[in-house]
Amino acid sequence: MRERNNESAENYLETILRLSERLPVVRSVDIANELDYKKSSVSIAMKNLREKNHITMTDAGYIYLTDEGKAIAEMIYERHKTLRRALEALGVDFDTADRDACKIEHVISKESFDAVKKYMAKVLDD
């Protein structure tokens, strides 16, 4: 099970993944703007992610996920989308479901998430 203190790192990785899908390059300022964080906070986080080999940065400041970082980001993003869809299916409005999914995605066990995912696939296929 992942530790709770990884929640911040997971959020950053997920944000980099999402930004990379819509921007030609991702920079710290893009992350700061997306999350409404101070650039200095993002800079510290990027240093930590580089040290963990989850991202690389070019001299020009372009940020790229490593294979390991991308795997984590994709796992978190899948959880986010699935949990948001599940909450919406239960009648929760999009904004609330999105906020709650962002919290739940970091603490839900693999077993519980797999059960939600399996259930949602069954419900959506019926």
Per-residue pLDDT, 126: 58
CB 53 within 8 A of CB 89: no
pLDDT digits (tens, 9 = 90+) for 66-110: 999 999 999 999 999 999 999 999 999 999 999 999 999 989 999
Question: 45 and 16: one domain?
Answer: yes
Q: How many domains does the chain have?
A: 2
Residue span of the structural domain in which 56 resides: 4-71
CATH code of the domain in which 25 resides: 1.10.10.10
pTM of the model: 0.86
Question: 58 and 11: one domain?
Answer: yes
Question: 25 and 37: one domain?
Answer: yes
pLDDT digits (tens, 9 = 90+) for 7-50: 889 999 999 999 999 999 999 999 999 999 999 999 999 999 99
Q: How far apart are the first and last CA of the chain?
A: 32
CATH code of the domain in which 84 resides: 1.10.60.10
Phi/psi for 61 (5° steps) reads 90, 15
CA dihedral 28, 30, 34, 37 (to 10 degrees): 40
> At residue 39, what is the residue type?
K
The pLDDT > 70 percentage for the chain reads 95
Question: 19 and 60: one domain?
Answer: yes
